[in-house]
Amino acid sequence: MTRTLATIFAALLLAVSLTACQSGGEEEDTELIVYSGRSQALVDSLVEKYRAQSDVNVQVRYGTDSQLLAALQEEGDQSSADVFWANTAGALGNAVNNDLLAELPDTLNAVPDRFTSESGNWVPVTARFRVLAYNTERVDTTALPASIADLPSASDFEGRIGWTPAYSSFQDFVTALRVTKGDSTARTWLQGMKELNPKSYTSNTPMIRALAAGEIDIALTNHYYVLRIANPESQGEEAEEGTSAPVATYHFEDGDVGNLALVTGAGVLQTTDQSEDAQDFIRFLLSEEAQTYAAQTVNEYPVIEDTDVPPYLMDADQALRLSPQFDLERLREIDRTLNLLRDEDLL
């Protein structure tokens, strides 16, 4: 099945791994430094594809979005980074707020409108959706609320809920909740969830494994984490060939913020002296080859027209109908979200 989103999409400095992707044992003259909030397990193969077809020696520094942003801030004008490839639009907005990203040419901004940056300093690369994952052997979906706003009232799941307060996509969700419903509502929701004694995880993969093992019953996550462990057809890094886990995704009612559509994205850093090479790398991320890789291997939705999407992914139009209309540029207001999470002892 071929589905696209094109018609609808119109800090401490830490020692994270610095990986050089080389081929044939020869090092080229040009070196491009990419700071990637995308995990190495997900995108290293894609970087190698680019390295194999270009004259550029790409080196990738992996870390969380917040870690890399802190590093960029500390490095300042002395940073050697050329590209910031972020896991969330919130991190990209933060980078724009701090004047870290250069304006991109129109040829890179020619992507569908729904997830483009008004600032013109970054482009969306893939899309994903927030979902409620559940253990199919333990949960009757009729017991799940229609709206994420009512999840704190689901007392039957006390001590059996997983969430990731320190993870960037969860923070983007809380930002969207705060922006659309107000700070007071977001604080009340977080306090209500805390009363259910949820189990906190540092990232989504161990949380979904705990869900599959029956250690928790439900979990707030992104759609692709569930697919990687639940669908034997999935080519994701976490999938095990020929096996499936008893987990599935539950969607709240249409337009609910619990179904929020989010994007990954990339921008060129102000510090680069290799703008053309940096832009070329981002252009590759928007190529048919890279977009197909994202759909087939990472199980995320492409943002470029006519990209093949696996049949086990939800129809793209349906997924977007579930998501609320939300200006992703508002995710740059994450500082107030982080303060809120700290106030509630969640960070």
Distances (CA, A) of 218 to 157, 271, 345: 8, 43, 22
Q: Taken in order 321, 298, 63, 28, is the CA torsion positive or negative?
A: negative
Question: In this structure, what CATH number is given to the domain that contains residue 141?
Answer: 3.40.190.10
Both 77 and 96 in a single domain?
yes
The structure tokens listed for 159 are: 């001590």
Write out pLDDT tens, residues 13-45: 333 344 434 434 444 457 999 999 999 988 999
Both 176 and 134 in a single domain?
yes
Question: How many Å apart are CA 128 and CA 81, to the nearest integer?
Answer: 26
Residue 182 lies in a domain: yes
Residue 176 lies in a domain: yes
Residue 24 lies in a domain: yes
Question: How many Å apart are CA 223 and CA 322, to the nearest integer?
Answer: 13
Residue 48 lies in a domain: yes
Q: Give mean pLDDT, residues 235-243.
A: 46
Q: Which of 6-10, 53-57, 248-252, 323-327 has the lowest mean pLDDT?
A: 6-10
Both 138 and 183 in a single domain?
yes
Instruction: Give the pLDDT confidence score for residue 4 in this predicted structure.
Output: 46
Question: How many Å apart are CA 257 and CA 65, to the nearest integer?
Answer: 22
In the block, which residue shows the tokens 């909030």? 37
Both 116 and 200 in a single domain?
no
- Beta strands, E only, the chain: 18-20, 30-36, 56-62, 83-86, 123-135, 161-163, 199-200, 218-222, 247-250, 261-268, 301-302
Q: Bigger pLDDT: 122 or 112? A: 122
Task: Give 301's Cβ-side CA count (13 Å radius).
Answer: 28
Both 266 and 255 in a single domain?
no
DSSP 102: P
Under 8 Å between Cβ of 253 and 141: no
Does pLDDT of 117 surpass 80? Answer: no
Q: Which of 56-70, 72-86, 107-121, 318-332 has the lowest mean pLDDT?
A: 107-121
Both 103 and 245 in a single domain?
no
Residue 296 lies in a domain: yes
Say what percent of the chain tops pLDDT 90.
68
Write out pLDDT tens, residues 155-194: 999 999 999 999 989 999 999 999 999 999 999 999 999 9
The pTM of the whole model exceeds 0.85: no
Write out pLDDT tens, residues 200-215: 999 999 999 999 999 9
Does pLDDT of 234 surpass 80? Answer: no
Residue 33 forms beta bridges with which residues? 59
Instruction: Give the pLDDT confidence score for residue 306 in this predicted structure.
Output: 76
Both 85 and 115 in a single domain?
yes
Residue 197 belongs to domain spanning: 129-259+336-343
Under 8 Å between Cβ of 30 and 57: yes
Distances (CA, A) of 305 to 59, 187, 212, 229: 29, 39, 34, 27
Instruction: Give the pLDDT confidence score for residue 236 in this predicted structure.
Output: 45
The total domain count for the chain is 2
* Cα–Cα nearest to 36, from 291, 311, 283, 265: 265
Both 181 and 63 in a single domain?
no
pLDDT grade for 110, boundaries at 50, 70 and 90: low
Instruction: Give the pLDDT confidence score for residue 19 in this predicted structure.
Output: 42
Does pLDDT of 1 surpass 60? Answer: no
